[in-house]
């Protein structure tokens, strides 16, 4: 309880410092204040490792940290074989990050730029990390939701409003003894609307979508179908459907713009399956 309370104090301190900075509108900040929208508080290294575990960061990933502080997220990701960059408004942090990347021997794969996170193109990220504040996360949300479906987004301590995380972990850092939360979101594909399946099983289905949560209604030429277990993870959609009272067939596919392709599993039988966007009825 004491630890949880301490963590709340820490969050409150960040928020309080942010409001002070906003009123000071400091550009050339003396020590004790800060430049930008969020004060510098480093994510403890054991929490960094858990955040990167949560996003399953590995070689092949491109990691971008918005407000990168001393560069620890991107440097640690680069030590796992990933590439990426961090942006921070504070030139001292950028100098420190470049030095930290050098010391870790990952300068080739970890770059740092003095730049406003709101003016940063982060569309290349396969993993986006942040330790900002709730209102900043929410301001970034439209751009984050426009990233390639399947992009993993990890935030230390702060949520994204009503966009529920796909996963959340709570931990007490062994280094600071504070409680930390890490949230993971997987950017969902645009699945909402009407879809028409092609081929031997021309079912029609309508999807309603709130972020990664979907509801699906299906019908065939002979009437409504039972549909259940509709799930969307990045671009991967799965659901079960079948005639009322009959067995359900398992549909799975990947959404690529206006098309879905995948398979239908019916017991041991696997049939290729495609659907196209259709007008919503």
Positions in 143-202 near ligand SAM (CB under 6 A): 156
89 Cβ contact partners less than 8 Å away, ≥ 6 residues apart: 35, 36, 67, 114, 115, 116, 117
Alpha-carbon span 207 to 56, nearest angstrom: 29
**Region from 55-63, 84-92, 138-146, 208-216 binding ligand SAM, contact rule CB under 6 A:** 84-92
For position 73 contacting ligand SAM by CB under 6 A, the verdict is yes
Nearer to ligand SAM, 43 or 126 (CB): 43
Nearer to ligand SAM, 155 or 212 (CB): 155
Positions in 52-71 near ligand SAM (CB under 6 A): 65, 67-69
Residue choice 57, 75, 78, 87 for contact with ligand SAM (CB under 6 A): 87
Nearer to ligand SAM, 73 or 197 (CB): 73
Residue choice 63, 75, 83, 93 for contact with ligand SAM (CB under 6 A): 93
Positions in 13-42 near ligand SAM (CB under 6 A): 34, 36-38, 40-42
Per-residue x/- track, 128-147, ligand SAM (CB under 6 A): ---x----------------
**Shortest CB 89 distance to ligand SAM, Å:** 4
Contacts with ligand SAM: how many residues (CB under 6 A)?
Answer: 24
For position 249 contacting ligand SAM by CB under 6 A, the verdict is no
For position 90 contacting ligand SAM by CB under 6 A, the verdict is yes
Do residues 137 and 160 lie in contact, with contact meaning Cβ atoms separated by under 8 Å?
Answer: yes
Q: Which residues bind ligand SAM (CB under 6 A)?
A: 34, 36-38, 40-43, 65, 67-69, 72-73, 87-90, 93, 116-118, 131, 156
């Amino acid at each position: 309880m004491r630890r949880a309370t301490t963590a709340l104090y820490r969050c409150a301190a960040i928020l309080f410092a942010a409001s002070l900075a906003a009123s000071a509108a400091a550009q050339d900040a003396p020590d004790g204040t800060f430049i930008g929208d969020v004060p510098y508080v480093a994510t403890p290294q054991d929490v960094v490792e858990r955040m990167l575990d949560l996003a399953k960061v590995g070689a092949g990933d491109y990691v971008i940290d918005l407000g990168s502080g001393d560069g620890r997220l991107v440097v640690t990701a680069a030590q796992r074989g990933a590439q990426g960059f961090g942006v921070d408004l504070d030139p001292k942090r950028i100098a420190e990050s470049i030095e930290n990347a050098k010391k870790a021997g990952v300068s080739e794969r970890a770059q740092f730029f003095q730049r406003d996170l709101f003016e940063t193109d982060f569309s290349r990220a396969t993993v986006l990390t942040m330790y900002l504040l709730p209102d900043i996360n929410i301001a970034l949300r439209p751009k984050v939701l426009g990233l390639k479906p399947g992009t993993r987004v990890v935030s230390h301590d702060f949520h994204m409003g009503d966009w529920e995380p796909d996963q959340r972990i709570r931990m007490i850092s062994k280094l600071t003894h504070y409680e930390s939360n890490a949230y993971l979101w997987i950017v969902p594909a645009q699945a909402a609307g009407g879809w028409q399946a092609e081929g031997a099983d021309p079912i029609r289905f309508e999807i309603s979508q709130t972020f990664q949560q979907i509801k699906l209604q299906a019908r065939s030429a002979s009437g409504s179908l039972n549909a259940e277990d509709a799930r969307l993870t990045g671009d991967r959609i799965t659901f079960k459907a079948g005639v009322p009272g009959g067995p359900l067939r398992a549909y799975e596919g990947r959404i690529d713009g206006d098309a879905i392709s995948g398979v239908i599993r019916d017991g041991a039988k696997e049939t290729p399956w495609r659907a196209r966007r259709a007008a919503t009825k």
